[in-house]
Amino acid sequence: MLSADQLLDALLERARGVTEPETVPVTDALGRVLAAPQTSAITVPPLDNSAMDGYAVRVADVAAAGMRLPVSQRILAGAVGTPLQPGTAARIFTGAPVPPGADAVLMQEYCTPLPNPDETTSHSTKPASGQVAGYLPQAGEGANVMPKPINEGEDVIIHALPRPGENIRRAGEDIQAGAQVLAAGTRLGAAEMGLAASVGLAELPVHRKLKVACFFTGDELVTPGTPLLPGQIYNSNRTTLTGLVNGLGCELIDLGIVPDTLEATEAALARAAGLADVVITSGGVSVGEADYVKAAVEKLGRVEMWKVAMKPGKPLVYGRVGEADFIGLPGNPVSAFVTFCLFVRPFLLKRMGATDVLYRAFAVQADFTWRKPGARREFLRARLQPNGKLALFPNQSSGVLTSCAWSDGLVDLAIGQTIDPGDWVRFIPFSELLS
Ligand code: AMP
Ligand code: MG
């Protein structure tokens, strides 16, 4: 029997990447895997710009706190200023280019605008109220906290000494022109999509979606929506797998429930292998009399691995049928869920062309006792409590799906390990496993 680590290594060795790329709009790229590295044609930010609403000054012009400077221009985001006249300040807003000559921006909270000393010099374009269009005090902000709007031709008192470079975002401090922003094999999330857009990319080359066909063996299975007869159970694995497969960004081909006969299992397997890159099934992989999955794979293709020394989830089959990979998960709902997370997810991610496919585990303190040293590696369902420690779901049976919904992740228990409260244990959060 393979260990969990051996099984994972063997699966990743067998996971060929999907090569065919296609092009998608950046806005549709969520969950897709980048097929080629992306570089930036531009510098980001393109110009030195202000990180604050305030006043751009020359540090050398502000000899002491309390100095009064005339305001020589007003620069909004989207506008471009003129070189800063020596001995003056420029009213500036967040994101607006810093005018040549200015080397610091004082935030407006450190400045007091003053009405023009001589009304006759004020600009005729200024609204009569003194209000600058587009710069309205927010509701709830009093006149004492919100500096009065100011325009060129007015003055400002600078209450703090500016430091060179203060509140200036430098051109290129994020990205240099020509730099790689995203590597091939990156799974695209919201941040990566935003990054691509920030350098002006409208489309991205991504690997085509991996096709995953599923079927579910068991004469006892019924699709939710009809009442159960004695002996029947609902096919929950179908719904769990739908969430897991779709969550990875694969295309799911759902072939439904298959009865426990060799003929039906073979027919479903042949159909699935012809339709998909990967076939995943649940149930029928143990050594019971009604377990036909392994026999069907052996007949139509080959079985390369069977059984993994872990709990939950001992029976698990990997094989090939034609061009398709085959993975047979155990029927028990917790076993199917856990083995998918630990083995199938990294396998599918690599098949999708992703480079970062392994989950991370973290050391977390236990708030429970475990006194059942096992002969197999065990993955216990546990929840992170407000005290930062882990509580265990009371029923760790592989049929109790409630344990997975209740928990935040898996405690990875070594063979023979026991646990006392306060012990540091290896914890794999579901956030590492479910996307
Ligand atoms: P098997 O691996 O086929 O022996 O199934 C093991 C256990 O999992 C049995 O109790 C089955 O009833 C249950 N089971 C199998 N398939 C499913 C399924 N699709 N949904 C929920 N439970 C299942
Ligand atoms: Mg069965």
Instruction: Tell me what the pLDDT averaged over the chain comes to.
Output: 92
**What pTM does this model have?**
0.88
**392-395 contacts at long range (C-beta below 8 A, 24 or more positions apart):** 392/368
pLDDT at 314: 87
The tens digit of pLDDT for each residue in 374-407 reads 999 999 999 999 999 999 999 999 999 999 999 9
Contact 96, 50 (CB under 8 A): yes
Q: Which two tokens stand for residue 52?
A: 């604050």
299 φ/ψ sector (left φ>0, alpha ψ -120 to 50, else beta): alpha
Judge whether residue 141 has pLDDT over 60.
no
pLDDT at 44: 95
pLDDT at 149: 53
pLDDT at 13: 97
pLDDT at 17: 83
| C-beta of 286 in contact with ligand 1 (< 6 A) | yes
Q: Which of 12, 184, 156, 187 is nearest to 71 (CA)?
A: 156
pLDDT > 90: percent of the chain: 88
| C-beta of 328 in contact with ligand 1 (< 6 A) | no
Residue whose token pair is 């930036």: 40
Closest ligand by atom to 216 CA: 1
Confidence of residue 132 (pLDDT cuts 50, 70, 90): very low
Q: How far apart are the first and last CA of the chain?
A: 29
Ligand 2 centroid–CA 287 distance in Å is 10
Which atom of ligand 1 is nearest the CA belonging to 216? 19
Residue whose token pair is 């869920």: 337
The tens digit of pLDDT for each residue in 166-183 reads 999 999 999 999 999 999
Strand partners, 97: 49
Which atom of ligand 1 is nearest the CA belonging to 217? 16
Judge whether residue 430 has pLDDT over 90.
yes
Judge whether residue 152 has pLDDT over 80.
no
**Which residues make up the environment of ion ligand 2, defined by Cβ < 5 Å?**
218, 283-284, 331
Q: Are strands 278-282 and 111-114 parallel, antiparallel or unpaired?
A: unpaired
Residues with Cβ within 8 Å of residue 68, at least 6 apart in sequence: 114, 155, 156, 157, 158
Judge whether residue 121 has pLDDT over 70.
no
Judge whether residue 134 has pLDDT over 90.
no
3-state secondary structure (DSSP) of residue 432: helix
Separation between Cα atoms, residue 430 and residue 359, nearest integer Å: 9
Which atom of ligand 1 is nearest the CA belonging to 238? 19
Q: What is the mean pLDDT of residues 149-164?
A: 85
* CA-to-CA separations, 37 to 174, 186, 206, 305, in angstroms, rounded: 18, 9, 10, 35
Buried b (16+ CB within 10 A) or exposed e, 325-345: bbbbbbbbbbbbbbbbbbbbb
Q: Which of 294, 329, 298 is nearest to 312 (CA)?
A: 329
pLDDT at 287: 85
150-154, 298-302, 406-410: least confident range:
150-154
The tens digit of pLDDT for each residue in 259-316 reads 999 999 999 999 999 999 999 999 999 888 889 999 999 999 999 999 999 999 889 9
Higher-confidence residue: 117 or 286? 286
Judge whether residue 142 has pLDDT over 90.
no
pLDDT at 139: 44
Q: Which of 354, 356, 329 is nearest to 237 (CA)?
A: 329
Confidence of residue 118 (pLDDT cuts 50, 70, 90): low
| C-beta of 288 in contact with ligand 1 (< 6 A) | yes
Separation between Cα atoms, residue 73 and residue 435, nearest integer Å: 50
Ligand 1 centroid–CA 225 distance in Å is 18
pLDDT at 151: 62
| C-beta of 155 in contact with ligand 1 (< 6 A) | no
Ligand 2 centroid–CA 289 distance in Å is 9
Separation between Cα atoms, residue 322 and residue 409, nearest integer Å: 36
Q: Which of 335, 349, 355 is nearest to 248 (CA)?
A: 349
Confidence of residue 337 (pLDDT cuts 50, 70, 90): very high
Buried b (16+ CB within 10 A) or exposed e, 82-98: eebeeebbbbbbbebbb
Handedness of CA 422, 424, 426, 427 (dihedral sign): positive
* CA-to-CA separations, 163 to 21, 61, 120, in angstroms, rounded: 50, 12, 35
